[in-house]
Amino acid sequence: MANLWRLGVLCGAQGGRAGSKASSLHWTGERVVSVLLLGLIPAAYLNPSSAMDYSLAAALTLHSHWGLGQVVTDYVHGDALQKTAKAGVLALSALTFAGLCYFNYHDVGICKAVAMLWKL
Amino acid sequence: MAALLLRQVGRHCLRAHLSPQLCIRNWSLPMAMSICHRGTGMALSAGVSLFGLSALLLPGNFESHLELVKSLCLGPSLIYTAKFALVFPLMYHTWNGIRHLMWDLGKGLKIPQLYQSGVAVLVLTVLSSVGLAAM
């Protein structure tokens, strides 16, 4: 209990309780998306559909976006460099998501593509 | 005695411009598996991004690309190996990911459990990869 209070004081000194709340929500969000993605994979195999294609694209890109964000946080040091790296990851994730949606709309879609690839 | 040996090993690493932690620290299974989890994650991300970007940038549709691969007339063992190479990092990351989620629930954090779950993940990875590549 005393530790929680200390954490609150620390966060208060570093820009309000909002900072730690946001981080806590981010952590929970990461786990939720992970579990979602875990469930989507067998679901996509058993029930391939267009809705599944788009859900897979969204969960996949969000999971990898947050994962790469953690890698940047761990290895890229310094304010300016970290901001640039994070912007780069955002750009990559956005382009990847756009590409996957384009594939789902104009081409066979993720589920069918995996099936076709595996029949090779 | 051990300290002297460790210092020698560390010095070798520094000469090779490597971080000394890589040589001085005793490698453990959980440490190696953690690095592999990150490595497979980054590799899978790169694969997905490459797929998405090539859908946007490369001419031709997916079927035409598959036809190109078919025209190479690759042997079945090569195709199996390629499928295995695709599925192996995915399976490792998935099973180890479940292990991570278990830790987040507060389960299996004792040291012997770490090693047991680690070995279980490795066995499951190999088995599921072999199975999926054969499909």
Average pLDDT of the segment spanning A86-92: 98
pLDDT band at A5 (very low <50, low <70, confident <90, very high): low
Distance from CA of B23 to the nearest CA of A (A): 19
One-letter-per-residue 3-state SS of chain B: CHHHHHHHHHHHHHHCCCCCHHHHCCCCHHHHHHHHHHHHHHHHHHHHHHHHHHHHHCCCCHHHHHHHHHHCCCCHHHHHHHHHHHHHHHHHHHHHHHHHHHHHCCCCCCHHHHHHHHHHHHHHHHHHHHHHHHC
CB atoms B38 and A71 under 8 Å: yes
Please say whether the beta carbons of A96 and B49 come within 8 A.
Answer: yes
A4 within some domain: no
The model's pLDDT over A68-83, given as tens digits with 9 standing for 90+, comes to 999 999 999 999 999 9
CA–CA separation, A105 vs A53, rounded Å?
10
For chain A, the domain total comes to 1
Give the count of Cβ contacts less than 8 A between chain A and B: 72
Substitution target in A27, A30, A34, A36 with the highest count of B β-carbons within 10 Å is A34
CATH class, domain B28-134, is mainly alpha
Look at residue A1 and tell me if it is in a domain: no
Token pair for A64: 């990898």
A13: in domain: no
Is A82 domain-assigned? yes
Task: Assign residue A64 the CATH number of its domain.
Answer: 1.20.1300.10
Domain, as residue range, for A41: 27-118
* Res A39: pLDDT: 97
**A108, B66: Cβ pair inside 8 Å?**
no
Using alpha carbons, list the distances in angstroms from residue B22 to A19, A56, B19.
34, 37, 6
Structural element, H or E, at residue A120: none
At A99, phi and psi to the nearest 5? -65, -45
A41 inside domain: yes
């980054």: which residue's tokens? B42
Give residue A120's pLDDT. 85
CA distance from start to end of chain A: 59
Residues of B in contact with A67 (CB under 8 A): 41-42, 45
Quote the percentage of chain A above a pLDDT of 70. 87
Task: Compute mean pLDDT per 10 residues along chain B, 135 residues long, and list them.
Answer: 62 62 79 97 98 96 94 94 97 98 97 97 98 95
- Would you state the pLDDT for residue B11? 61
In a domain, A56, yes or no: yes
Between CA A18 and CA A90 the distance in angstroms is 23
pLDDT in tens, A19-54: 899 999 999 999 999 999 999 999 999 999 999 999
Whether residue A75 is annotated as binding a ligand: the answer is yes
- Structure tokens given for A24: 């806590």
Residue type, B15: R
Using DSSP, state whether A108 is helix, strand or coil: coil
Query: Global pTM?
Result: 0.85
Please indicate, yes or no, if residue A73 is contained in any of the structural domains: yes
